[in-house]
Amino acid sequence: MNQKTIHKSIDMKKGQQFPLTIKRLGINGEGVGYFKKQVVFVPGALPNEEVVAEVTKVNPRFAEAKVVKIRKRSKERIEPLCPVYEQCGGCQLQHMNYSATLREKRDIVRQAFERHTKLNMNKIAIHETIGMEDPWDYRNKSQLQVAKRGEEVIAGLYAMNSHKLIDLTQCKVQHKATNKVTDVVKQILADFNVSIYNERKHKGVIRTIVTRVGFETGQVQVVLVTKEEELPRKEAIVSEIQKRLPEVTSIIQNINGQKTSIIFGEKTVHLAGEEVIEEKLGDLSFTLSARAFFQLNPTQTVKLYNEVKRAASLTGKERVVDAYCGVGTIGLWLASDAAEVRGMDVIEAAIEDARVNAKNHRFHHVSYEVGKAETLLPRWQKEGWKPDVVVVDPPRTGCDDKLLQTIIEVKPKRMVYVSCNPSTLAKDVDRLCKKGYKVKSIQPVDMFPWTAQVESVTELVREK
């Protein structure tokens, strides 16, 4: 199909302007309107606003546009708190009042189910989104790319659809400790004139500053991601971090020589302090190594895991599988109410952490294995071990096809699906519902205030 046909088929062209009424928010937080019955996505526009839109891109089935003028403002529009909100693109909804974002996130989940399933949504309870009392300073980890701007070292994220780095060391959604530590580390690198990585030329040493803080313990870990193993003035840098930032309890180097946007490489070197930091969730403590996955918003994680516990409906007799278990957080949260918990993950370091965490809590009925659930579940079934409840917390791409097929074959009585992507959730749930499962409830949780992301806990029970 050539470009002319595309333009003709949706009857719009780049640069064209027209009035548009915004009907709802799309999955990426953009306003959605219809011009001559054709869908138009407008970032920055809010539901019920009347805008003048200008087409920026024409696709085969929809157009993208920008706001030229707002003719009728939404009562829910507010002034963003962040000074670089529009350039950064890390948050998408700071121009909307917080309670309205919670309502829209619930609607985004509903839209996904209406689009990707044939389920009767009038019979499925999608509860109100669980939000935060104070939706700021909530992220416990920052991963900021480093660059040189003149003599200054900056650290931040690339602006939307560009290679312009936006300095982000005063980010309003990051825990204040991560902002402070990154800012000081940046200054230390500048003071010692350490070689900074240039993404375009694939030259230089320091690529990324990763900072993670334990909300409950106050411990801070700094990871310097470098292009090569040789880190110039290593001892001086470490000594200066320890001197200027006594709160930093762990200093790590990770080596990533690939030309990639992936943050971490395979090799990690312990530079100073502890190799790990500790964090607490409720009554549980967790040991976190540099590459271990851990939920980014601890305050909301407690609410999320309590919803998982509610959906699992444990009586103390159930065998539970924690698929995609990471460092074991969900399985350990459920352990005191389960007869046995088994978890698995493909990342070996995460499983090592999970085993340490289980041992530290003296949970002898909890075990972890490196591997995929779709391999381990059939093996365990052959050995006579079958789960009553399977909990999945997959990446944004959703559950692996083989895992879904395995769950359908193993037939656990109950499944709890923790999702960070409503579209893949809806597609996976649709497949499970065609094979004997029924959705009891969906509970959205706002893990990332001011962004378009919405996490949810879906409770599924086996009918036949």
Hey, is 181 helix, strand or coil? helix
Write down the catalytic residue from 82, 171, 399, 420: 420
Distances in whole angstroms, Cα of residue 303 to Cα of each of 134, 212, 455, 456 = 14, 21, 11, 11
Q: Which of 61, 66, 60 is nearest to 18 (CA)?
A: 66
CA 440, 446, 451, 453 torsion-angle sign: negative
Judge whether 108 and 454 are in contact, CB under 8 Å: yes
- How many residues are given for the chain? 464
Judge whether 161 and 236 are in contact, CB under 8 Å: no
Give the whole-angstrom CA distance, residue 235 versus residue 237: 6
Cα–Cα–Cα angle for 312, 317, 319, rounded to 5 degrees: 65
The strand pair at 165-167 and 152-158 is best described as: antiparallel
325 carries an active-site annotation: no
CA 327, 331, 334, 336 torsion-angle sign: negative
Helices then strands, counting H and E runs in the chain, come out as 11, 22
Structure-token pair, residue 392 = 């999945």
**Torsion angle of C-alpha atoms 148, 149, 153, 154, degrees rounded to 10:** -100
Give the whole-angstrom CA distance, residue 6 versus residue 30: 22
Which residues are known catalytic residues? Answer: 420
